[in-house]
A and B are shown apart, each in its own frame.
Chain A
Amino acid sequence: MKHGRYPFIIGFLIVPVAIYGTFVVAAYLQAFQLSFTNWRGFSPDVQYIGFDNFTKLFHDNTFWKAIQHHALLLVFMPLVTIGLALFFAFLLNVGGGSRGGRTTGVWGSKFYRVVFFFPQLLALALVAVIFARVYSPDESGLINGLLHQFGSGPVLFLADKNLALWSIMAVLIWQAVGFYVVLFSAGMGSIPTEIYEAAALDGATRGTLFFKVTLPLLWNTLQVAWVYLGIAAFDAFALVNVMSVDRGGPDGATTVLGLEIFRNMQDYAQFGYASAMGVVLFFLTLTFAALTLRVTRRETVEL
C-alpha cells in the first residue's frame, strides 16, 4: 500500500459522508426518536410515550386507507409502466425488422424517443398543475371541454371517488414511461444483433423475438425498474397534494402516507405521530425493495 493513500481517500470522502450523515442519516434517526414521543413541535421539551403512536396508527382508518392506495399503486403502476415502456422500447429498437443485416426501430423512432422522454423533463409540480387543467370538471378542462362539444356530460375525474386515484395514477404512469423507454432502449442496445439475426433466420416472429430473446436478456434492467417504480408507488405525495380534491379526497379516496405525514405534522401539529408514520413508511419501502430483489433473482445470462 502506497504511503498517503488513506488520507487521500478520506480527504475525498469526508465531505460527502458528512453531508449524507447530517442531512440523511441524522434526519432518519431523529424521525425514529420522535416517533416514540408525543412532541407537538412548539416546545424544546419532548416526552417519551413508548409505542403509543404505533398502537394508535394501527387503529387509524385513514392510515389503512393510505396503505390500500399504496397497494393499488404498487401493483398497477409498475405493471402498466413497464408494459408500456417495454412495448415502446421494443418498437423503437427492434420493431422495424431487419434492414441490411441490422435490426432497426419503426419509422421515426428517433423522434419518438425524444417525445417519450419529454414528460420526464417537466417538474412534477408542473405536471400536476397541467393535468389538473386536463381533468378540470367544467368545460375549461381539456377532456371535459371535448366531451362538452359532443354533448356528453362532464366526467368528474378527480371529484369522483371511484375515478380519482386512477386518474392520478394515469399521470404518474404518463410521466414515468419515457424514462423507462430510454432505460430499456439502452438495455436492448447492448443485446448483440447476431442473436436476433440467428433467431430471425430460424424463423422467429417479432413476438417470439421479444419473449424469447429480448425479455430474458433485459431481466436485470427490469428488476431495477420494478424496484424504482415500487419506491415511487410509496411516494406519489406531490401529485396527490397538488391535484386531489380537498387534499387526499374526495373523502380520503386518494390519500397516501406522504400526505398523511404532512397533514399530521403541518395541520394537526402531531410531530410524534407523523414520525411514526414515517418510520412505518421507511420499513415498508425497505421491505418491498429487499423482497423484490430476492423474489425476482434469476440466473443472469452472460453475454
Chain B
Amino acid sequence: MTDIFKPEVDRRTLLRRAAAVGLLATPAVSMLSACVGGGSDDDDKADKPAGTVSANNPLGIKEDAPLEIVIFNGGLGTKYATDVDIPSYNKLFPNSKVTFNQTEEISTVVQPRFAQGSPPDMINNSGSKLMDQGALVQAGQVQDLTDLFAAPSVDISGKTVKDTLIPGTVEQGTFNGKPYVLNYAFTVFGLWYSGKLFKENNWTVPTTWADFTKLLDAMKAKGITPYGYAGANAPYYQYTVILASAAKIGGADILKNIDNLEDGAWTNDAVKQAAAAWAEVGAKYSNKAFLGLKHTEVQLQHDQYKVGLYPSGSWLENEQAKDTPAGFDYQLMPIPSVTTADKLPVESLYAAAGEQYFVAAKGKNPRGGMEFLRHMLSKAGAVGFTQLTKTLTVVAGATDGMEISPGLTSGNKALGAAGANTFSFRFDTWYKKLDDELRAATNELFYQGGTADKFCERMQKAADAIKKDSSIEKFTR
C-alpha cells in the first residue's frame, strides 16, 4: 500500500519537468509546491505509546496532550459526543484539553487538512459529504485500531473492547486484514410500517411472497400506495432491499462475491430472481412519481398513512420524530422470502455496523484519538448514545431491558429472531462508483420499466470496469 504513494521524483526533478512542459510559470511554482506535493513526509513517526501505560491508560496516551475531534452533525446530532463521551474521556484525563468541532460537511472541513498534513485526531466520517474511506486508507492516513480492540473496556470489567462488541463489528471496519475504522452505530434494515395501520386493518406481517403481494393488493384496494422509496436521493434504500432478497435466496455469499468483485457475481441467478421480484413490485404496487421525490417527502407520506411499506434502516424513527403522528407505532418487518426454497430463513436480516469513526495516523495525538473511541465503546457511552439518538450501538446488549421507543424495540426483536442469520455488504463504501451505478440501475429497474436481465448485466459491467481500473485500490473480505 505504501509504495503507491511513494514520491517517485524529488522536488527538483518535479519542478524541472513541470517547467519543461511549460505549464507553470516560475514564480507560481514555489507557491504550488507549498500547497500540494510540498508537505513533509515524516513516515518515521511510528505509532508508539506516548505516555506511560497503566490500568487506567492502557493505550499509553500522553496525559496532557490536547485532542481534536470532528463530529458529523446529522441525524444523530452531536450531543452524544459533547454530553457523554467527552466528559467520560476527561474524567480519566482531566489535563488533556479536548477541542470539539462539528460540521455538516465533513469533506469540506477535513479533507484540506489531510492534504496539508495536519489532520484532526478523531473524525466521524459520515453524511452525504463523507470522504472516500478507501482512499484515506490507501493514502496511509488512517490509524490501525488493533491496539484499541485489544485494550480492556472502560467499564465492562474483565473484557477487552473487542469482547464487548457485536460479532462482525471489527470486520466491518477492516480493510485488507487490518481494522482501520470503527463502525459505531448498529443498523437493522427492513420494511417499516405503522403498527396502528396494521392493527386497524387486521393486516399481518407476511412471510411468503404470495402473502406479501396479497398484502400489497389489500393496501392498494384501500387507496394507499403499497410500497415506495425516494428515487431522487435515496435509491440505495431500495438496492439494499434487492440485495437482501438476493442474499436470502442464494445465501450470504452472494453479497461477499459482489464485494469481492468476483466474475459473474451480479449475473448470479439469485440476484436476477430478486431483481425480477422487485421490478414487479415497482411496476404494480408503487407510484412512478416517487422517482422524483426526496426521502423526506416519501417518509412524510408514510407518516401520513399514504404509503404502506417503506424500506429503511433503524435510523428512520429518530429521523421522523418530529413528523410522526401520535400512536403511529413504527414497526419493522424482515423482507419476505421471494421463493419457497430460499437458503436463508425469512427472519434473516440486513444488519450492519455503520457510521464511521477513525483516527488520523499522521495527526498530533493518534493514541488520544483511540482512547476517545474506547470511551465511546464503554457501556455508559453506548447507553448515552442510544438514549440520545434512539440508535443501537455495536456494544452488545448495552441497552437490553431498557424501553426507549417502539421502533427500537421492534428492530431489536427482529435482530434477536435473526440470530446468526444477519448479512451485509461493503462495496458501497469501498467503491463509491459502483454505489452510484447501482442507484441509477435500481431507479431504472423499479420505476422506469427496467428488467432483471438488464439490471444484472449493467451492474456486472460496472463491477468489471472497476476491477480493471488500476487506479482504484481493491479490497476483499
Contacts and interface: CB of A to CB of B under 8 A. Distances in A.
Given A29-B28, A41-B115, A245-B291, A161 B141 contact: no
Contact of B36 (A33, A38, A154, A263): A33
A252 B291 contact: no
B300 to A, nearest CB: 10
Contacts of B289: 137-138, 144, 154, 156, 159
A268 B114 contact: no
A33 B6 CA distance: 18
Given A41-B115, A156-B288, A267 B436 contact: yes
Interface in A230-253: 245-247, 249-252
B217 to A, nearest CB: 22
B235 A246 contact: yes
B136 interface: yes
B232 A45 contact: no
Interface in B418-440: 432-433, 436, 439-440
- Chain B interface SS verdict (over half): helix
Nearest to A53: B471
Interface string A21-63: 0000110011011101111111111111000000000000000
Given A29-B23, A249-B440, A45 B292 contact: no
A266 B135 contact: no
B25 interface: yes
A169 B139 CA distance: 40
A65 to B, nearest CB: 12
Most chain B beta carbons < 10 A, residue from A39, A46, A47, A144: A46
Nearest to A264: B433
Contacts of B436: 263, 267
Nearest to B440: A251
Contacts of A29: 23-25, 28, 32
Interface residues of A, number: 45
Contacts of B291: 137, 156, 159, 245, 250
Nearest to A161: B448
B18 interface: yes
Contacts of A89: none
A103 interface: no
Contacts of A246: 231-233, 235, 439-440, 443
A41 B288 contact: no
A136 interface: yes
A161 B290 CA distance: 14
A46 B135 contact: no
A138 B293 CA distance: 8
Contacts of B268: none
A209 B356 CA distance: 68
Given A48-B9, A246-B439, A42 B24 contact: no
Nearest to B431: A268
Interface string A118-148: 0000000000000000011110000010000
Interface stretch (B38-46, B200-208, B342-350, B399-407): B38-46
B293 A45 contact: no
Contacts of B36: 30, 33-34, 39, 44, 46
Across the A-B interface, the 6 shortest Cβ-Cβ residue pairs: A44-B39, A137-B289, A159-B292, A269-B132, A137-B292, A269-B135
Given A33-B24, A41-B114, A45-B37, 16 more contacts: A40-B135, A41-B111, A43-B5, A43-B39, A43-B141, A45-B6, A46-B7, A46-B37, A138-B289, A159-B447, A245-B291, A246-B231, A246-B235, A250-B448, A251-B444, A267-B436
